[in-house]
Chain A
Amino acid sequence: MRQAVGRGGASGTVCVSPAMLRCQGLRKRYGDRTAVDGVSFSIAERECYGLLGPNGAGKTTTISMLCGLTERDGGEITVDGFEGGSLEAKSAIGYVPQDLALYPDLSAVENLAFFGQLYGLTGKELHARISETLELVGLADRGKDRIGTYSGGMKRRANMAAGLLHRPKLLVLDEPTVGVDPQSRNAILETVGRLGIAVLYTTHYMEEAAKLCDRIGIIDDGHLIAEGTAGTLIGAHGGRDKVHLACDPAELDALASACRELDNIHDVREVDGNLELTTDHGPAVLPTVVGVAARHGIDLTGVEVRTPNLEDVFLSLTGKELRD
């Protein structure tokens, strides 16, 4: 049975569609350095898969092998049933590189016309696709302008349009929002969200991955160290909620003693002059904590509930932060 997969997989939607991309044991070495070491994952039709990891983790190298840009030293790739790197596999992929890959001296239409022709599009079909794709990325009114005159965000959208033009079955986006203003970032994310095709999305922005991707693979030092929906990853590796309370320092010990008496509070400790409570569900215990403080005549000057996120998952799995 085939099930449509929604965007934003924190809910833990299970994907049962056939695999559009299947990678098994990918390996790539550059001299003595192993950039990718035994990476395996698959992406179903219409699934958005996020490859999350810091710079230098192996994301771009993995993508380069998938798209046939770099020869792999080991492992297997199939795209839509075709051997990775074959012309058929390449035809099924829409590649949006990390850097702007357009000719600044040519207009968006001229750029798209060239790249469209490389995928066999010609004549009226080519022109129709160009109009349609420019409309999709919100550049229909600037199509005849040279790319060199575009803002950074517009260039990124045009960059994505070139990858979408031939209606690929698998869209590969390599950090498409790096250095992009918030408005353009949202436009890109919205566009990706409504495509309805398989997407491989690499990023080191955890919020993007959590918002956009049905499943996420966490990659570090060339290894895929965890995989699942954002919800399952956080549940398994993110740890517990933290409630931070601020009050008069003279009353901190009294507040700590009162909180230790509460159910569902696993740990109470002083952190940077504030009180940090560890609990399974911060929002649920917060009213109780505030009530206890009031009963003891303690004025809370600040309250913050922090739920674990993918950053915590990465920290938990690697012992280091998801750095830029």
Chain B
Amino acid sequence: MIRVIALNELRRRLRDRSVLIGCLAAPLLMAAVLGFSFAGGGAPVAVRVGVSGASQQLVAAAVQASQLPPGVSVVRMTSEQAVKTAVADGQLDSGVAVFPGRLQLSSLLIPIVDPGATHTPGYDVVTKGTSQVGHEYAESVAAGISSVLYAGKVAHGATIDSATVTIKTQNVGHGGKVNLNFFAPNIAVVFLFIGSGLGMRSLLMERAAGTLARITAAPLRPTQIVLGKLLAIFVTGLATIFVIWAVTTFVFGADWGNPLGVLLMCVGATVAMCGIGVFLTSLAKTEQQAFGITLLVGLFLTLLGGNLLPSGSLPDVFQVLALGTPNGWALVGFGRLDQLREPATSIIGPFFVLLAIALVTGGLAMTRVRRMVEP
């Protein structure tokens, strides 16, 4: 019966074309916007970034993780003052002064999901204010350092080579695609939330149309009705994120990371968003209420989880609170895959957190299931 209700839902959404718009046209448009925005191949820019307080090994790993484009050189400096002096003199376009004593787990988490972070307690980005590009690459290097440290690949207390080294990065990056890698799953998660949250309004629309009464009168359990709807929304949600994944990957060359890991994260994120969607719908009496609640909560979670505003630009407490949101955890998982280039096993934690969120929110909704299907 769950399958019957789900198929009917999909048939009707195909018939009124809402599924084509929500699962194909809109994701395609968004993928195209992201692709053209971030994956364009501009001419290489010669930029020099200095780093102090980090070992050669750490700097090399950070540069690798940052995937800097050709033309960017990263130079290891002996001290914070040396970095500042070189930037002030114009020898460097920007710099990163790392303070190992200030590096903490909470601060390290942020750059993983937010390469644009401008303030973290673990390091300072040094700029003269005249080179925006230099500033951004310095932030990328800083994010790379944090990512590598968080991943435990290099201990920040490793032996520091006193000699200044220059690391050529011509062969390690693929330009703005590092941003595309970040933003594509980021925006896909927002799409998922909109799709699943608003998708469950179908139940309330059927109540208004009278068809819910006929369905409820049939020999079905209320949970079967709601789960049928959820199955349809899960399928459309998964289709949405798959379209964005496929288009950004095959058309614009993005790399979301390990395919199995991405697949699991897509499933986990979709399930979690379905749970949130059904929970929010269970709170509403009318379609209009559901719309309002979903938008309000969606905007809140999107901001808090770091989908729109880089969480690194928010106060520290909000950076930690981001991990209390399903989208925040989705971004952690995707970030491990597309930025840290970690294997599928690295997202097991975020994946199960998303499943837990789905179970809790879905379970809460099911306590009100009888009321949800009452005409």
| Nearest B-chain residue to A102, judged by Cβ | B211
Which residues of the partner chain A approach B11 to less than 8 Å between Cβ atoms? 106, 110
Which residues of the partner chain A approach B374 to less than 8 Å between Cβ atoms? 69-71
Which residues of the partner chain B approach A106 to less than 8 Å between Cβ atoms? 11-12, 15
Q: A1-9, A89-97, A275-283: which lies at the B interface?
A: A89-97
Cα(A271)–Cα(B41), bound, Å: 97
Which residues of the partner chain B approach A117 to less than 8 Å between Cβ atoms? 1, 4
Cα(A88)–Cα(B220), bound, Å: 10
Which residues of the partner chain A approach B5 to less than 8 Å between Cβ atoms? 118
Which residues of the partner chain A approach B16 to less than 8 Å between Cβ atoms? 105
Nearest CB of chain B from residue A193's CB, rounded to whole Å: 23
Contact with B along A101-128 (1 / 0, CB 8 A): 1110110001000110111100000000
Nearest CB of chain A from residue B203's CB, rounded to whole Å: 14
| Nearest A-chain residue to B16, judged by Cβ | A105
Q: Which of A95, A97, A114, A118 contacts B220 (CB 8 A)?
A: A118
Which residues of the partner chain B approach A239 to less than 8 Å between Cβ atoms? none
Is B15's CB under 8 angstroms from A69's CB? Answer: no
Q: Contacts A106-B12, A118-B1 known; A101 to B213 CB distance under 8 Å?
A: yes
Cα(A110)–Cα(B12), bound, Å: 10
Is A97's CB under 8 angstroms from B210's CB? Answer: yes
Cα(A106)–Cα(B218), bound, Å: 19
Which of chain A's residues 118-153 have a Cβ closer than 8 Å to chain B? 118-120
Chain A contact patch, size range: 20 to 34
Contact with B along A52-64 (1 / 0, CB 8 A): 0000000000001
B375 within 8 A of A: yes
Chain B residues bordering chain A, tally (CB within 8 A): 23
B289 within 8 A of A: no
Is B218's CB under 8 angstroms from A119's CB? Answer: yes
Is B214's CB under 8 angstroms from A95's CB? Answer: yes
Q: Contacts A105-B16, A118-B1 known; A162 to B219 CB distance under 8 Å?
A: no
Q: Which of B4, B12, B221 contacts A105 (CB 8 A)?
A: B12
Cα(A117)–Cα(B375), bound, Å: 20
Is B214's CB under 8 angstroms from A101's CB? Answer: yes
Which residues of the partner chain B approach A115 to less than 8 Å between Cβ atoms? 214, 218
| Nearest B-chain residue to A117, judged by Cβ | B4
A248 within 8 A of B: no
Nearest CB of chain B from residue A80's CB, rounded to whole Å: 12
A68 within 8 A of B: yes
B215 within 8 A of A: yes
Which of chain B's residues 354-372 have a Cβ closer than 8 Å to chain A? 370
Q: Contacts A105-B15, A106-B11 known; A100 to B1 CB distance under 8 Å?
A: no
Is A95's CB under 8 angstroms from B219's CB? Answer: no
Is B214's CB under 8 angstroms from A90's CB? Answer: no
Known: A68-B217, A97-B217, A102-B211. 6 other contacts (CB 8 A): A90-B218, A99-B213, A105-B12, A118-B4, A118-B218, A119-B219
On A, residues with C-beta under 8 Å from B are 64, 67-71, 87-88, 90-91, 93, 95, 97, 99-103, 105-106, 110, 114-115, 117-120, 162-163
On B, residues with C-beta under 8 Å from A are 1, 4-5, 8, 11-12, 15-16, 209-211, 213-221, 370, 374-375
| 7 sampled A-B residue pairs with Cβ under 8 A | A70-B374, A71-B374, A87-B219, A95-B214, A95-B217, A103-B209, A118-B215
